[in-house]
Amino acid sequence: MNRLHLWLAVAALGLGTPAHAQAAATRPADPWPSSAVLTRLFALPSGRADGQRLISELRLTPAQIAELRRLARSEAQAAQAGRRVFGRDEATALNAKIARLSAEKDRKVRQSLGSKYSGFRVWVRGWWKGEVSAAR
């Protein structure tokens, strides 16, 4: 991937922009729903143990687990769309689409988890804090 394509992919995901930097500075410990949390927990091999811990600690039902895994697949597909962005207009359109998808993902997780949603958010913030600390 050449530098332009890499920059466009980063821009399409809203990373490396002043708005992203400001958001990261004001909410460094809360990646939800803008980051690919479900992909990390349910699709990537490195996060599966953490995903299992989330399932166990929140006592998720099989239906809730299935919905989170389904949403993780959708989240991963949306992230792949950034690789096919070739211009500023496409990047802008993709950023808008990702914002809509993030809001919809949050709505679906909230609906699926019901009363466990607030516990999910607390768990994700704690998990993310550990991930950030481990990466430093």
Domain locations in the chain as residue ranges: 3-26+34-135
> In angstroms, rounded to a whole number, what is the distance separating the alpha carbons of residues 136 and 118?
28
Count of residues making up the chain: 136
What is the Cα 132 distance to its own chain's centre? 14
For 33-91, write each residue's pLDDT tens digit. 988 999 999 999 999 999 999 999 999 999 999 999 999 998 888 777 667 777 888 88
Whether residue 130 is predicted with pLDDT greater than 80 in this model: the reply is yes
The per-residue pLDDT for 42 is: 95
